[in-house]
Amino acid sequence: MNGTAVMTGLACQAFGRAEYLLRLATRITALNVVALQGNPEHFDERLFAAKPHPGQAQVAAWLRQDLAIDGPAAPLHRLQDRYSLRCAPHVLGVLADSLGWLRGFIETELNSANDNPIIDAEDERVLHGGHFYGGHIAFAMDSLKTLVANIADLLDRQLALLVDVRYNHGLPSNLSGAPAERAMINHGFKAVQIGASAWTAEALKLTMPASVFSRSTECHNQDKVSMGTIAARDALRVLALTEQVAAATLLAANQGVWLRTQASDARSLPPRLAAMHAQLLGEFAPLEEDRALEPALRHCLVRIGQRHWELGDA
């Protein structure tokens, strides 16, 4: 065994986590469209026929399903939402469109001989080569961590909108559910948003490509190496950070949806989002008076790791 086996194993883990994160980020976005009273027409099928990247169109289709926008629409929408809602298919769609070739790189490497030397038993030859070089995995992981870090940035921006009374269209400051007379001594999701911003910054910092930092060793025999294991480790760290941002934004989005449902003129939730909202409320009580949210965030991360929520047909 050599380093290429290790990096490929790590890449398999990273790929599965990224695949689920894509669907989860799409669902979180749909919840935030409801919480922020966004304009679902940004995901109209005709728009995506004019710019037909398949993965981007698929994300828009998932959003349409979650938002049930073929049904009755709210009478009034803003003309244009901010980019973190309006452009969500364009951000998430890059990962969706990349999953195919990423899988191809990983599967080919997984089913390859990457030893040196290679023994040809039939012709009784010993073949010396460089199949231990992990360039394809290194590039796949450097690419994946950039794609995933962009999801962290997208969700972090959505969370920033949710907690800010200048942009959340009538939700309370920091999503606090405290009554008006106690609002001034409650901080709601303020600390969660600060944490998510820090996790996002770290994820973005780690997008520096590892594969270009080859070092020469062993008296210049190993004078060009792939750095693929470091790229894969970085990708897993970026995934861990992005999952933390996803957990924070999911709980905040659900809080925002819950606050909307308390209004006297509240509209019923689309079926998929209503089911998810009910599931989340069953495990994560709404935040009224301030309480420590770390246990809930940690539990939410466990659920993400378990791929607990059914997020619709592929």
Q: Distance between CA 179 and CA 181 in Å, rounded?
A: 6
* pLDDT, averaged across the chain: 94
First-to-final CA distance of the chain: 35
pLDDT at 130 over 70: yes
236: nearest Cα among 98, 100, 133, 141: 141
Whether 313 is covered by a domain: the verdict is no
Range of the domain at 119: 3-306
- For 197, counting Cβ atoms within 10 Å of its Cβ (0-12 exposed, 13-18 middle, 19+ buried), the class is middle
The predicted model gives 298-309 an average pLDDT of: 97
Q: Distance between CA 31 and CA 277 in Å, rounded?
A: 9
Whether 15 and 102 have beta carbons less than 8 Å apart is answered as yes
- Residue by residue, DSSP assigns 181-239 as GGGGG--TTHHHHHHHHHHHHHHHHTTS-STT----BTTTTB-S---HHHHHHHHHHHH
pLDDT at 91 over 90: yes
Query: Mean pLDDT lowest for which of 11-20, 137-146, 262-271?
Result: 262-271
| pLDDT (0 to 100) of residue 266 | 83
Q: Which residue has the tokens 């246990």?
A: 295
The predicted model gives 88-105 an average pLDDT of: 98
Whether 314 is covered by a domain: the verdict is no
Report which of residues 279 and 115 the model is more confident about.
Answer: 279
pLDDT at 2 over 80: no
Name the pLDDT band for 210 (thresholds 50, 70, 90). very high
| pLDDT (0 to 100) of residue 314 | 45
Provide the number of structural domains found in the chain.
1
- The structure tokens listed for 144 are 């994946």
CA 91 to chain centre: 10
pLDDT tens for residues 50-81? 999 999 999 999 999 999 986 555 555 678 99
Residues in the chain: 314
Whether 176 is covered by a domain: the verdict is yes
| pLDDT (0 to 100) of residue 76 | 54
pLDDT tens for residues 236-293? 999 999 999 999 999 999 999 999 999 878 889 999 999 999 999 999 999 999 999 9
- Percentage helix, strand, coil for the chain under 3-state DSSP, each rounded to 5: 65, 5, 35
CATH number, domain containing residue 292: 1.20.200.10
Whether the bond into 117 is cis, omega within 30 of 0: yes
Whether 312 is covered by a domain: the verdict is no
